[in-house]
Every structure is written in structure tokens, then in C-alpha cells.
């Protein structure tokens, strides 16, 4: 349905595939097919790609992303200094470009801290960094850093991934009402106007159509949305995976380079 309604970029990960939701006819309508490497494939990058290409029945991937800096080996998330590190994985990803089976490579869920470790050891700079990004977590510092390095920042959760806290904010709602638009349209338009690439998700055809119908926000409206995270309790991650011990997929916020406290609340 997405391709029939104007979408030309499919972002996917192998773990969610089912025989009925990705078809060759869909792939041929896309301008960009993006795939994320599972953490369980960090030690077998080439093999993981070959398996993905076979399952998708296609010859190449347009954009191949390292989904997380964490690697999983023998059903266990390994330490940041254990092999394969995300630098090891990236070096294997770089080799894929010479095969013609991958057109570009990037990362996902990387912070300034992890990028500062990775970039000095890169031959190829990541084309993009795909992260949680929305009005509650606008990622201004990361955006500035990625811009300075020529890395495009992509928002995989422009609506807050199932917990759109800012959709209920009166100032955010007022902007939508002023344009006779949906709050989702405002979120996507805000992301685009600030130079990021949002990846909206919906199974509803009408919402799909609305989500790619952009509106022009005024500078004042952009500033209003930029400031939403400054309200009490609003500057936070809206992902559901924050553990009660202050870890995220078994790494601490410090290891990930995320300035957060338990529950994903931003501390800096």
C-alpha cells in the first residue's frame, strides 16, 4: 500500500520479514531499499547480506545500516571492547561496496561518542545515521555534529514509536489546527524543514497519504516545536526498551553515549 501511495523508500530489518509483506513487485517500485544488519550478524556481515538478498530475491541493497552498535554473540550482548566491535563490523561493511551488492552504508542509533570512535577508523564515512528523533528528542547536538561530518540524519521514529507524547501538547496541536493538518503531518514537516529525513510508519492508507503531504511551517512555528522538549518531563526518549537498571539492550547509557537517566530522560 505504501508504494501505491507515493512512498519510494522502504526501510526494513530481516527479523520482521514475513513471506506476505515484502514482494518482488514492491521492490521494483522503490527508489531506495534500505536494510539494517541485525546485531546477531555483526560477526558474519557478508553471510548476513547474502541471506538477505536471497530472501528478498534481489541483486543489491541501496542502503545497508548497522542497526545497533551492540553485537550479539551466542545469544548474549557482548561488551563494547569484545570482538566484533562496531568498528570491526563497519570495516566488514566497507568491503561490501566493492561487491556491487550494496550501494551505500550507514549506521543507526549512533551517538556523538560512538561516532567519534568510529569515524577516525573509517575509510568510508557513513551515508546516514538513523536515530530516534522527534520533538521530545530533537537531537540538536547530534544533528550539528552529523552535518559537520557530511552524515545525513534520519528519523526512524518521527511519531515517538507508539508513544507520541508531543501529539498531546497544546502548542503542537495549535500548530496543526492553524494549518488544518494532522499532528502527524506537523511532525513530518518539522523533521523535513530542519534537514532530516523522517521515516513515517502507518498501516492506514489515509494516514499514509497525509503523512507525505507536507505543510510549510513558519519560523515561529518551527521554534515553537523546537522548544517543546524544554517543558517539564518532555525531554526524553519515547522508545519502549529502556531497562529499569539504566541500560538499553545491555549497554549503559554511558557506553552508548546517550546523556540519559533511567527511563530515557535526557540529563544534559
| DSSP structure string for 74-140 | TTEEPPTTSSSPHHHHHHHHHHHGGGTSEEEEEEES--HHHHHHHGGG-SS--SEEEE--BTTB--H
Sequence-distant (≥ 6) Cβ neighbours of residue 110 within 8 angstroms: 69, 118, 126, 129, 131, 257
Instruction: Specify the pLDDT at position 217.
Output: 99
Q: How far apart are CA 22 and CA 18, in angstroms?
A: 7
pLDDT at 126: 99
What's the pLDDT score for residue 207? Answer: 64
Q: What is the dihedral of CA 164, 166, 168, 169, to 10 degrees?
A: 180
Which residues of the chain form beta strands (DSSP E)?
A: 9-13, 32-37, 61-66, 72-73, 76-77, 102-108, 128-131, 152-155, 197-198, 247-248, 251-252, 260-261, 265-266
CA pair distance 142, 148, nearest whole angstrom: 10
Check residue 204 and give its pLDDT.
60
pLDDT for res 34 = 87
Considering Cα of 209, then 212, then 213, then 218, what sign does the dihedral take? positive
Question: How many helices (H) and strands (E) in the chain?
Answer: 10, 13
Per-residue tens of pLDDT for the chain, all 268 residues: 434 444 444 555 544 444 334 444 444 444 578 899 999 999 999 999 999 999 888 899 999 999 999 999 999 999 999 999 999 999 999 999 999 999 999 999 999 999 999 999 999 999 999 999 999 999 999 999 999 999 999 999 999 987 899 999 999 999 999 999 999 999 999 999 999 999 986 556 666 666 778 999 999 999 999 999 999 999 999 999 999 999 999 999 999 999 999 999 999 8
Task: Please tell me whether 67 is known to bind a ligand.
Answer: yes
Structural domains of the chain ordered from first start? 1-131 (3.20.20.100)
Amino acid at each position: 500500500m505504501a508504494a501505491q501511495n507515493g512512498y519510494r523508500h522502504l526501510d526494513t530489518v530481516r527479523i520482521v520479514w514475513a513471506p506476505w509483506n515484502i514482494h518482488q513487485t514492491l521492490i521494483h517500485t522503490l527508489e531506495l531499499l534500505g536494510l539494517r544488519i541485525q546485531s546477531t550478524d555483526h560477526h558474519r556481515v557478508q553471510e548476513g547480506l547474502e541471506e538477505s538478498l536471497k530472501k528478498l530475491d534481489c541483486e543489491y541493497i541501496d542502503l545497508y545500516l548497522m542497526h545497533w552498535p551492540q553485537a550479539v554473540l551466542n545469544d548474549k550482548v557482548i561488551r563494547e571492547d569484545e570482538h566484533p566491535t562496531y568498528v570491526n563490523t563497519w570495516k566488514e561493511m566497507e568491503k561490501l561496496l566493492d561487491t556491487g551488492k550494496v550501494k551505500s552504508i550507514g549506521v543507526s542509533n549512533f551517538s556523538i561518542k560512538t561516532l567519534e570512535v568510529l569515524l577516525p577508523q573509517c575509510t568510508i564515512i557513513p551515508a546516514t545515521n538513523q536515530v530516534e528523533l522527534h520533538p521530545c528528542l530533537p537531537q540538536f547536538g547530534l544533528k550539528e555534529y552529523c552535518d559537520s561530518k557530511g552524515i545525513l540524519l534520519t528519523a526512524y521514529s518521527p511519531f515517538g514509536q507508539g508513544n507520541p507524547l508531543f501529539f498531546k501538547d497544546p502548542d503542537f496541536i495549535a500548530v496543526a489546527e492553524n494549518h488544518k493538518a494532522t499532528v502527524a503531518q506537523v511532525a513530518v514537516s518539522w523533521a523535513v524543514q530542519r534537514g532530516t529525513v523522517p521515516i513515517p510508519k502507518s498501516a492506514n492508507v489515509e494516514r499514509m497519504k497525509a503523512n507525505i503531504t507536507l505543510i510549510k511551517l513558519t519560523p515561529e512555528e518551527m521554534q515553537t516545536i523546537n522548544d517543546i522538549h524544554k517543558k517539564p518531563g518532555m525531554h526524553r526518549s519515547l522508545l519502549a526498551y529502556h531497562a529499569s537498571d539504566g541500560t538499553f539492550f545491555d549497554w549503559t547509557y554511558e557506553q552508548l553515549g546517550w546523556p540519559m537517566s533511567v527511563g530515557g530522560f535526557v540529563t544534559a
